Amino acid sequence: MRINIFDIPEEGLEQEFVLPVITGNKAKPDTASVRIKLLRFGKKILVDGSVKGVLSLTCSRCLNDFSRPVDLDFREEYTPAEESEPEGRQELSGDEMGVGFYTGEEIDLAALVKEQVLLEVPMKPLCNDDCRGICSRCGADRNVQSCNCKDDHIDPRLAPLAKYKESLNRRKE
Ligand SMILES: [Zn+2]
Ligand SMILES: [Zn+2]
């Protein structure tokens, strides 16, 4: 989905398209419905867009798949890459506005949309904030069943610390 900037008429150009978006290691991509409006001011392009779709994610605690709807708006300003000096990079004007660069005469809308969608994917997706995860001993999904393992379950966020302590103890031996 590439747009030649000189194809953008004075009154702007509106586009609607559906785009496959891969989140995580899915063989089956999700799709995002995109509505976009482009305005051109000389070589500066303003992109206003909205994206709707459903992301398939895998919970980082219990490893179950779950889906999360996305519905986001974005605004991005594009300037030609060759005319921007890396030193004098413009400050972001307003916190909502992203600044991008394009080379040649084309803007890659698919790349822009994918970037926006991926920003919505958390580093450690959780099916639920209270997800209890998988028992590190027996592998039971603790959301579904409680197991009989002694409850020495370590908060996954503290696991690296526990490992560190363990290695300290081992060093003492
Ligand atoms: Zn989970
Ligand atoms: Zn267990």
For ligand 2, the distance from its centroid to the CA atom of residue 4, given in whole angstroms, is 57
- Picking from 123, 78, 85, the residue whose alpha carbon sits closest to that of residue 105 is 78
**What's the confidence (pLDDT) of residue 14?**
95
What percent of the chain shows pLDDT beyond 90?
Answer: 39
Ligand 2 center to 143 CA (angstroms): 12
How, if at all, do strands 97-102 and 106-108 pair?
unpaired
Q: Which ligand is nearest to the CA of 133?
A: 1
How far is the centre of ligand 1, averaged over its atoms, from the C-alpha of 123 (Å)? 14
Task: Read off the pLDDT of residues 21-79 as tens digits, 9 standing for 90 and up.
Answer: 877 656 677 889 999 999 999 889 999 999 999 888 999 999 999 999 999 999 999 98
- Of the listed ligands, the closest to the CA of 151 is 2
- Judged by its nearest atom, the ligand closest to the C-alpha of residue 62 is 1
* Percentages of the chain per state (helix, strand, coil), in multiples of 5: 20, 40, 40
Q: What confidence tier does 154 reach under pLDDT thresholds 50, 70, 90?
A: low
Buried b (16+ CB within 10 A) or exposed e, 12-42: ebeeeeebebebeeeeeebebebebebbbee
Per-residue pLDDT, 53 = 92
Summarize pLDDT for 91-125 with one digit per residue, the tens.
544 455 678 888 888 999 888 888 888 888 888 99
pTM to 2 decimals?
A: 0.68
Q: How far is the CA of 29 from the centre of ligand 1 (A)?
A: 21
Average pLDDT over residues 119-147: 91
CA distances from 137 to 28, 97, 141 (A): 32, 47, 11
Residue 84 has a pLDDT of 53
Mean of the pLDDT values across residues 7-22?
91
Q: Determine which of 82-86, 104-108, 130-134 has the lowest per-residue pLDDT on average.
A: 82-86
pLDDT at 92: 47
| Ligand 2 centroid, distance to 166 Cα (angstroms) | 21
